[in-house]
A and B are shown apart, each in its own frame.
Chain A
Amino acid sequence: MDKSAFEERKVVINGSMHGSLKHDSAHKHVTGAADYIDDIPEPAGLLHGALGLSDRAHAEIAGIDLSAVKAYPDVVWVFTGADIPGVNDTSSNGMHDEPLLAEAKVVFHGQPIFAVIAESRDAARRAARLAKVDYRDLPHWSPRPISLPRQTRSAPGQPSAMSAVGVRRWSIRTWARLLPASR
């Protein structure tokens, strides 16, 4: 095979592939001109929200007293998971283990429990600190690292905030069996 034959086969890609392209918004990022949600001017009368967070890593919520939150000046509304119409769940993987606002149990420090809506950011933030949450602490430590191959390993005797997640690695042959026979 001579050299010209080789060169003829060289594929030339037209367009932006293979080029070092600048990020579309880079010039805005570096000048501070890129607007994020918090940078957009607020419409008049916009209400502000703040979240009430768990200060326990793992606990049952025995009771919540929100009266001081609701009574704080300029607070418009305080809501909990019970006020959510529909299913109180934001889990993206179908595990149904991630409520938008924790109700019976918190599983991490900083987990949102309630939300305050107020006429100012300051009022919402200050009010959110006034809840009295009655916790019953649960033991907390993480499950052992998950081992990838074959069987999942449980952590006997260790309570955990979430149940162990199993990840199974399949062989190529197993995949091949599951794929449609022809393309």
Chain B
Amino acid sequence: MSDSIRFILNGEDITLSSLRPTETLLDFLRLQRRLTGTKEGCAEGDCGACTVLVGRLIDGGLYYESVNACIRFVGSLHATHVVTVEHLAAQNGTLHPVQQAMVDCHGSQCGFCTPGFIMSLYGLWLSTEKPSRAQIEKSLQGNLCRCTGYEPIVKAAEQVSQKRPSALFDPLEKTRADIIARLWAMQGGDTIEIAEGADRLIVPGSVAALAQVLADEPKATVVAGSTDVGLWVTKQMRRLNPVVFINHLTDLQRISVEDDGLSIGAGVTYSRAFAVIAEKIPAFANLINRIGGEQVRNMGTIGGNIANGSPIGDTPPPLIALGATVKLRSTAGTRSLPLEDFFIEYGKQDRHPGEFVEGIFVPYPASDAHFAVYKISKRRDEDISAACGAFHLSLDTAGNVQDIRIAFGGMAGTPKRARSVEAELIGKPWTEATVTAARDAFDSDYTPLSDWRASAEYRQLTAKNLLIRFYLETAGAPQELKRFATAEA
């Protein structure tokens, strides 16, 4: 048992043995360390003004990813390297090439969002040698600028990728070996527990230790990416106690490509899952590009999206349509169940006290099956779905519907299948007449709510129309609409 969180902040080793479980990285930087280059904009992981990089060891390599400091808890930073905008320029004031390009291309006006843009562009610069326009836009999805405009900022990203200076100039490339050694030394199998008054945070040393912690503390809040839990704290001012952090558990971050499907650990982030999903289930990957911005995808996990139980989580509809199963674990052992059975009703999942989501298994769609996911939101990027629908269709040789699985988020208290619609379609010829006749069955499947994202009528009509759209996309020659450059990223 250890009683302190240790990480590196820019160049300095930080050891904290006194820490509130919901202390955010942004408050820690700004209020305690007086590193005020990192700004507070929305405090909900949307605007990106608070973007910093967090470096962590993955299979011995050191990877830096952009994150939103406003919703990242300090307790989740053990054995990481936090890099803020203050770390980029040289001691003598010489700007980093990314910073210089933003100056040269007139990429700042009021300047408030600029440090966040710098950090997102820097993250891209570190990870991608010659980014395409689409990759640049994707890296900036999570940064909002309201006065400069994006064009000069994108120009800066293009300019800096043209003349890449020697790695020796870069503050993180220079120190890479040293940081790896220091992070390596900080890692350890010990469970960390810090009590602050009545509040406690726990960082289990292993998955087995996590199971034991949750057996002892079944009411604990389990936090992986904190892309939703962060808002409970910053927007709802909720007190969480105890908080159990799991984002560091590498045993939950495995992806294995099996013959019949993908096995994805609960701690795998959207970013880390992206490449393999893009290869195996491209339609699903296009949806992932529209979840949050890059910072949110670097923190958020598919396991968290499920365990959270939200009726508007984006991944459950495609996962249910694909027939995914969820694996739950506790000290009593593990069990698997179809994902659709995990969601019982609003706010209630089939998760026994002490259980946690260990992973999911996602079967591949058959090579001749049709699979599509549609996310309907007011903004294309960085928005929460009004409705999200997934369709998974198999036809027999005669062109009749052999099987179809339709699942929607945003239409009920849980992510839910449209069983009446499915029943209307199965066995019938896959024609416009069939789908037109079946669309009204959505009325018996769903009774959506009106809220500020969409009215009930809009949602219901959307679901019906998406069925028609899915039909049209499966009829005739396959075509893909690419409306925005990010679809290619």
Contact = CB atoms under 8 A, between A and B. Distances in A.
B37 A27 contact: no
A36 interface: yes
Nearest to B27: A121
Contacts of A104: none
B237 A30 contact: no
Interface string A124-149: 01100100000000000000000000
A31 interface: yes
A155 to B, nearest CB: 20
Interface in A1-59: 20, 22-23, 25-36, 38-39, 41
Contacts of B107: 26, 30
B115 A26 contact: no
A39 B109 CA distance: 18
Nearest to B106: A23
Size range of the interface on B? 20 to 34
A25 B102 CA distance: 12
Secondary structure of the B side of the interface? loop
A25 B95 contact: no
Nearest to B115: A32
Interface in B70-103: 84-86, 88-89, 95, 99-100, 102-103
Interface residues of A, number: 21
Given A41-B34, A126-B237, A129-B237, A32 B86 contact: yes
Nearest to B31: A121
B99 A30 contact: yes
Given A22-B103, A41-B34, A29 B108 contact: yes
Given A23-B106, A23-B108, A125-B237, A30 B114 contact: yes
Contact of B39 (A25, A26, A31, A36): A36
A122 to B, nearest CB: 8
A25 B99 contact: no
Contacts of A125: 237
Contacts of B84: 32
A128 B286 CA distance: 41
Interface in B431-446: none
B118 interface: yes
A28 B103 CA distance: 10
A126 B37 CA distance: 26
B63 interface: no
A36 B39 CA distance: 9
A38 B40 contact: yes
Contacts of A33: 37, 86
B237 A27 contact: no
Contact of A31 (B30, B88, B109): B88
B232 interface: no
Nearest to B104: A22
A26 B103 CA distance: 6
A29 B104 CA distance: 13
B99 A31 contact: yes
A49 B100 CA distance: 37
Contacts of B103: 22-23, 26-27, 30
9 contacts: A22-B104, A25-B111, A28-B111, A30-B100, A30-B107, A30-B108, A31-B88, A31-B95, A32-B36
Given A28-B111, A30-B107, A33-B37, 13 more contacts: A20-B106, A22-B103, A25-B108, A26-B107, A27-B99, A27-B103, A29-B102, A29-B111, A30-B100, A30-B108, A30-B114, A31-B95, A33-B86
